[in-house]
Each structure stands twice: as structure tokens, then as C-alpha cells.
Amino acid sequence: MVNTTQNKMSAWSRILLVPASVALAVSIYVPIWRIDLDAPQYPEGLNLKIYADKIGGNVDIINGLNHYIGMKTLHTDDFVEFTVLPYLIGFFSVFALCAAIVGRRKFLYSLLFSFIVFGVVAMVDFWRWEYNYGHNLDPNAAIIVPGMAYQPPLIGFKQLLNFGAYSIPDTGGWLMLGAGVCMLLASVMEFRKQRSAKIAAAKKVRAMAAAAIVTLFLMSSCKPGPQPIRLNADNCSNCEMTISDKRFATELLTNKGKVYKFDDLKCMLGHMKENSTQEYSGIYVTDYLNPDVLLKVEQAFIIAGESVGSPMGGNMAAFSNKDSAEKYSGKLAASPVDWSVLKP
């Protein structure tokens, strides 16, 4: 089941969406963009103001000037955008308010993503509009400058003959930008909060996993089992000599988990004989060919002979398989020995 609490927005994020909603609503009624034209013959300048639903400013004067250079005249009715744009902006205003009320992150992220897409599409459409009006000129215009186009800048400044054109956001544009910033700030805050929660959850999971591993390790360490023979460190529990040749080392494990180590099978047999009442959960011998491997004596193949040369004169060696035992029996002039005969 999804934890809805984890998907809730913080109070600050929800608060940020309220001014975003208000700013979008206000932007419907004020100019969103403006293009200012400066020229010596117009010291006070001319401006074209673009609202959500109309074109304003010095439209008639600009249309008159554009007529001389072959540009189309500007009329609100020629743009379908002015029909749908107020509704789109109104939709985002309501969407932002609903996201603040509902308080779910998915609403916030959907709002931000769709608003960014809307902004990109709007700017592309505005550039296309400027391009068409600046390039599709009347070939019979009074003034024709070969190779000259009159496309205003998308944003910033551009010189068009003796006119300097400035294209910048107006009040509504800044309000929409502010609304987008509020959405972005809220989204960043929620993303960081969500990320922190995930990191904390991951740390908790890792801590639980580590605790489980430690517990399993401790549980497994409590179970009796053979211990590695430490060469030149462990002493024989029978003769007390330091174990110097792993190939002949052996080990006894009692039912209580106590471990006895020996440097020779002979020493182990002697210990078992002296402690005949002791019960063992495991009796191990070292694999002659792999000295780091301890074999259960019942599964080992043992050979005995004078040439084997074990440390304490037991002259017995163990192997993990019958073929190896038979091979070394020939090399060392030794004979196979059954454990059932050897054990006390």
C-alpha cells in the first residue's frame, strides 16, 4: 500500500503555490510582452503590447509604418492564440491552487512540467509569429531593401533600419515568470525532502541488513565447527609442540564446542585414548595435498608407512580421494589404513 504521508507536500511548498496561482490569474488582464521601437522621428518611442487576449499599444501607427516596408498589418482577430491563451493561463492558475489544496507531490511535479512545456511552446509560437511577419513581405511595397528582413528579436535588442527594437517581458510576463519560479522552488524543496527521506530509508534498511548479518554471524559462530590450523602459532594439545607442518595436522571438536589441535595423527590418537570418556562432535584430519582443507576423518583415505615422515613419528597421511591415496601409497611405500582400526 502506498504511504500517502510520504507523498504530502510541506506547508511551505503549498504556500508558494498560492502566489503562483494569483500571479497567473492577474497576468490574464495585464500585458504579457512588449516590443518597443525607438527612432529619431519618434523621440518618445512606439510600443506594441501583447496581452493574453489582444494586441495593444501603438498598433495603428506601427501598422502604418509596416505598410511601407511590405509587412502585414497586425489585428487581434488574425491570431487564434488570443482565443485560447486566456483559458490556458486560467487553467494553470486553477491547477496551481488545486495542487496547493490537495498537497500531493505528483500534482506539483505535473504542474511544473506542464507549465514548462507551455512556456517553451509559447515562445516557439511567438518566434514563429515574428518570423512570418518579418520575412513574408509584400513584393510591391513602397520601400524594398534587398535581402532585408524585419523580424523583431525574440528577447533583447535588434536594429531594424533606423528603428531599434527591444523585445522584453511586460508585467504579465514577469508575473508568469514569478509563478514558474514559485513552482520550481516548491518542486526543488519537495525533491530534496523526498531524496532525504529515501536516503534515510536506505540507511535504515542498510542498518537492519547489517544487524541481520551480524546476528547471523553470531549465531553461526556459536555453532561448533572446525577452526583453521595456524602454522607456527598453534600448539599440539598432546605434545605441546608448535605445529610446523600442516600436512599432518589434525583436530578434535567436542560436543561443547572446544577445539583440540594436534601436529600428528599419532598425537590425536594418544589424546583420545587418554580421554576415552570424552565425546566428540567432529574428528578432522588435514588433506595432505591441500593442507588448508580439513577433512572429516570418516571421509578421508589414510595411508601409513615409514617413508611418510610425519613430525611425531605417526607416519600417517590423509587424502580427500582414493586415487590420490593410492598414488602416494606407491610413492611412499605406504599402505592404506582404515580409521575404524586406528581409533581408540
Tell me: the pLDDT tens digits for 72-123? 888 999 899 999 999 999 999 999 999 999 989 899 999 999 999 999 999 9
**Can you give the pLDDT at residue 3?**
47
Residue 87: exposed, middle, or buried by beta-carbon count in 10 A (0-12, 13-18, 19+)? exposed
CA distances from 60 to 35, 42, 64 (A): 14, 14, 6
Side-chain-side CA neighbours of residue 321 (13 Å): 5
More confident: 4 or 254 = 254
Cell numbers at 336, concatenated: 592404506
Sequence-distant (≥ 6) Cβ neighbours of residue 111 within 8 angstroms:
17, 92, 95, 96, 99, 183
The DSSP code for 10 is: P
Helix (H) or strand (E) holding 168: strand 163-169
pLDDT tens-digit readout, 180-226: 999 999 999 988 888 887 887 778 888 787 777 776 665 555 556 78
Distance of CA 16 to the CA centre of its chain: 28
0.75 exceeded by the pTM? no
- In which residue are the cell numbers 534587398 written? 146
SS3 215: helix
More confident: 336 or 2 = 336
Cell numbers at 278, concatenated: 570424552
Q: How confident is the model at residue 68 (pLDDT cuts 50, 70, 90)?
A: confident
